[in-house]
C-alpha cells in the first residue's frame, strides 16, 4: 500500500531553540473572526515569550487598489487600505512595541516581505502559524513556509476563519501534507519538556 493512502495525524514537538511564532493579520478588519480565538492566541503568544520563542506579527494592507489588483478583483474591491482603522492590529493583542510587524499585500507572509531572510538570520528552522484567516493567509503562509524548507506547526485553536467547515478543511489539508497540528495545551507541554 502506498504511504499517501494511509492518512495519519503526525506528532512532533517544536524546538523552542529554532522555532518562531507567526501571528497572521490580527487586525480590526477581522475583529469578529478573531474575538473567539483571542484568549487562545494570547496564551500562545505568552507561552512562546516565556520560552524565548520569537514572535512576529503581520498586517495585511494595501496602499491602493493597484497594490494587488487580483485581490481587489477577487474581493469586489473590499481590501484593507493601510492607514485606516481596519488596517491596525487589534488593541487586545498581546504585542509589545518592540515586536516586528511585517506588512504584506497578499495571502502569503513570505511574498516580497523579507520574512524568509529574517527568519534565517535569526536561525529559525520551524514556524508556528497562528492568526486569521485559517483557509487564506494562514494556510497560504504555512504552505509557503513548507515549500521553503521550514518545518511547520499549525495552531488549531489560535486560528480562525469565517466558518467551521473552512477551518476544518484547512486543518485536514495541513495535517495531510504540510504541518504538525498544535494547540495551547500541546505547546505548553512541549515547551515545559524542553525547559526541564
Q: What are the tens digits of pLDDT across the range 27-62? A: 999 999 999 999 999 999 999 999 999 999 999 999
- Residues 174-189 have a mean pLDDT of 95
Q: Is residue 10 part of a domain?
A: no
Higher pLDDT, 78 or 167: 167
Pair 9, 69: CB distance under 8 Å: no
Give me the pLDDT at residue 7, please.
67
For a pLDDT cut of 70, what percent of the chain falls above it? 95
pLDDT-based confidence at residue 8 (cuts at 50, 70, 90): confident
- For residue 166, pLDDT beyond 90: yes
SS3 101: strand
Q: Is residue 47 part of a domain?
A: yes
Q: How many domains does the chain have?
A: 1
Instruction: Record the cell numbers describing residue 122, joined without a space.
Output: 535569526
Pair 109, 22: CB distance under 8 Å: yes
pLDDT-based confidence at residue 195 (cuts at 50, 70, 90): low
Q: Is residue 1 part of a domain?
A: no
Q: Is residue 81 part of a domain?
A: yes
Q: Is residue 170 part of a domain?
A: yes
85-100, pLDDT tens digit by residue?
Answer: 999 999 999 999 889 9
CA distance 42 to 85: 21
Question: What pTM was computed for the model?
Answer: 0.94
Q: Is residue 45 part of a domain?
A: yes
pLDDT-based confidence at residue 120 (cuts at 50, 70, 90): very high
Q: Is residue 54 part of a domain?
A: yes
- For residue 2, pLDDT beyond 60: no
Pair 178, 152: CB distance under 8 Å: yes
CA distance 137 to 161: 10
DSSP state of 112: T
Q: How many CB atoms lie within 10 A of CB 176?
A: 13
CATH of the domain at 167: 3.40.50.850
- The three state secondary structure string of 16-74 is CCCEEEEEECCEHHHHHHHHHHHHHHHHHHHHHHHCCCCEEEEEECECCHHHHHHHHHH
Give me the pLDDT at residue 76, please.
86
Q: Is residue 2 part of a domain?
A: no
Give me the pLDDT at residue 196, please.
60
121-138, pLDDT tens digit by residue?
Answer: 999 999 999 999 999 999
Query: What range defines the domain where residue 45 resides?
Result: 15-195
- For residue 1, pLDDT beyond 60: no
- Residues 10-27 have a mean pLDDT of 96
The phi, psi pair for 101, rounded to 5°, reads -125, 120
Amino acid at each position: 500500500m502506498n504511504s499517501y493512502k494511509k492518512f495519519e495525524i503526525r506528532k512532533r514537538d517544536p524546538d523552542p531553540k529554532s522555532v518562531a511564532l507567526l501571528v497572521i493579520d490580527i487586525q480590526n478588519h477581522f475583529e469578529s473572526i478573531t474575538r473567539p480565538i483571542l484568549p487562545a492566541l494570547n496564551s500562545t503568544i505568552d507561552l512562546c515569550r516565556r520560552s524565548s520563542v520569537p514572535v512576529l506579527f503581520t498586517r495585511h494592507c494595501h496602499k491602493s487598489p493597484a497594490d494587488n489588483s487580483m485581490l481587489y478583483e477577487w474581493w469586489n474591491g473590499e481590501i484593507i487600505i493601510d492607514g485606516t482603522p481596519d488596517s491596525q492590529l487589534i488593541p487586545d493583542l498581546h504585542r509589545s512595541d518592540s515586536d516586528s510587524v511585517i506588512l504584506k499585500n497578499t495571502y502569503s507572509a513570505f511574498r516580497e516581505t523579507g520574512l524568509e531572510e529574517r527568519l534565517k538570520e535569526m536561525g529559525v528552522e520551524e514556524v508556528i502559524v497562528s492568526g486569521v484567516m485559517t483557509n487564506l493567509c494562514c494556510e497560504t503562509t504555512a504552505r509557503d513556509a513548507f515549500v521553503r524548507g521550514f518545518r511547520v506547526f499549525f495552531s488549531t485553536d489560535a486560528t480562525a476563519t469565517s466558518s467551521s467547515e473552512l477551518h476544518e478543511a484547512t486543518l485536514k489539508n495541513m495535517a495531510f501534507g504540510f504541518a504538525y497540528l498544535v494547540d495551547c495545551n500541546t505547546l505548553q507541554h512541549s515547551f515545559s519538556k524542553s525547559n526541564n
